[in-house]
Amino acid sequence: MTHLYARRVFLRNLAVAASAASLGLPLFGCGGPRMSALAGGAKLKVVFFVVPDGLAVDSWTGNSFGDGQGLWHPTANSGDSTDFELRDVSAELTAYRAKSLYLRGLMLGEGNSGHNGWNVVLRDREAKLPSIDVILGLDPAMTGSNLTFRSLFSGPHAGIDGSPWFVSWSGANAIRTPERDPVLLHEAVFGLASRDVRAARSRGKHIFEPALADIRELRQRLSGAQKQKLDTQLDSIEQVMADMEGELPAPGECSVGTAPETHPIASAEFRTRVQAAHERVVANALACGVTRVATIQIARSAEQLNILDVTSAKNPHDCAHRYAGSQEWSGTRKWYARRAKLFMDELARYDDPDVSGDKLIDHTLVVVTSEMADGAPEHQIDMPLLLMGGASGLLRNGAGNGRCFNIAPQADRDHHTGNPVIGKRFVDMPRIWNTVAAACGIEPPYPGGVVTGIFNNVG
């Protein structure tokens, strides 16, 4: 990201604010009370952690469309329970069980779209709207300190082989490309644009001051009606800035970690180190308040880069298909789950940027899922979906032992096969994204409404 681009972003947003103010409209669609509510206390952060080729929701001997009794979904005695047993893959996240809510009964798309699930995993079933990470990042309720990074998109190994199967979309046909090199990701977040922001803070200046200087420079070149029009806009911008000064809290100190080491990102030999570097940069960006929304896409669907920690004989896609053996099948799925656990470790290391004495993990919601449920039959029924983290106390994850919640009773979709555990009725996955949006104070963007029983402030 360049300094010039960052300033253009500031200018665009200031123009929106100024136009709204000059027309007597509330800033960014928010009234004073909402701005005041956002100004103090905790600020929720949301991270979507998307792994490829499913998390083995079916058993090794499951039928042609799966049995729902595999390595991911916990076993519980009831549909809503805090007394449950984690399976081989989900057990990798045992350390964060107390902060976890495991959901069952979800269906993605039509339930049998194979690897095409990456098109819709984070958005509406018709693939017409932006993905949930983009929608959250664009709303002022979830804006970080740098408008250039409304929604950070990290893709450690997504598309390194030329297959751009990315899960984040800014529109119907507008796919986003993630940053795949952690060195470049670090420079983008903590490089020129972020240095300008931090320098402005250290001088006690307003974050929009550089953009305002550009507008004043432009004013000197205008005359007549154009100059008068710009003067009106300038007055509005300065009033907005004055109003915001009393509503926005002073940001805390930002401790920028050491830049990642340079490694070949398409090399299996360095895969684990590159992945870990991405996780550190994303956590650091959240801890600095630069952004409050991020997506980490570990790899594309049907990925081919070997996980040498597990096997060098077969790629993870083949392992998901059970071509290599049961140890490789479970081992690759465990590796993905372990990466989510290690990302949680990163969140637990950093202080929260907004609440003194709290850790970043206390005010972050991490959503773990995939573009399919199981990689062997390649289906999308009974999808793996885990919500975890402190989430500012909003997540209904039990009272210290975690929670497993079957939401199939709220189903709105039928599937011709289903599985023996859930049956043939499922909840459409975009309803979860509606529910996350509502928890963030944002109007649900997709058809179908919300799911109740997940967040304290929804339903």
3-class SS letters over 321-381:
CCCCCHHHHHHHHHHHHHHHHHHHHHHHHCECCCCCCCEHHHHEEEEEEECCCECCCCECE
Q: How does pLDDT run across 234-286, given as a tens digit for each residue? A: 666 666 655 554 444 344 457 898 899 999 999 999 999 999 999 999 999 99
pTM for this predicted structure = 0.81
pLDDT of amino acid 64: 78
> Above 60 in pLDDT, residue 113?
yes
Q: Which one is predicted more confidently, 242 or 185?
A: 185
Residue 16 CA: distances (Å) to CA of 22, 29, 197 = 10, 10, 20
Pairing of strands 45-51, 293-297: parallel
Q: How does pLDDT run across 381-426, given as a tens digit for each residue? A: 999 999 999 999 999 999 999 999 999 999 999 999 999 999 999 9
Confidence category of residue 191, pLDDT binned at 50, 70, 90 = confident
Give the whole-angstrom CA distance, residue 413 versus residue 399. Answer: 31
* Contact by Cβ (8 Å): 291, 149: yes
Q: Which one is predicted more confidently, 52 or 37?
A: 52
Structural domains of the chain sorted by starting position, each given as residue range(s) with its CATH number in brackets:
42-182+268-439 (3.40.720)
pLDDT of amino acid 207: 53
Report the mean per-residue pLDDT for the chain: 86
The mean pLDDT of 182-201, rounded to a whole number, is 70
* Contact by Cβ (8 Å): 47, 295: yes
> Above 80 in pLDDT, residue 139?
yes
Q: Which one is predicted more confidently, 265 or 227?
A: 265
pLDDT of amino acid 22: 40
Confidence category of residue 323, pLDDT binned at 50, 70, 90 = very high
Quick check: helix, strand or coil at residue 64?
Answer: coil
> Above 60 in pLDDT, residue 17?
no
Give the whole-angstrom CA distance, residue 93 versus residue 339. Answer: 9
Confidence category of residue 227, pLDDT binned at 50, 70, 90 = confident
pLDDT of amino acid 21: 41
Give the whole-angstrom CA distance, residue 396 versus residue 430. Answer: 19
> Above 50 in pLDDT, residue 26?
no
> Above 80 in pLDDT, residue 144?
yes
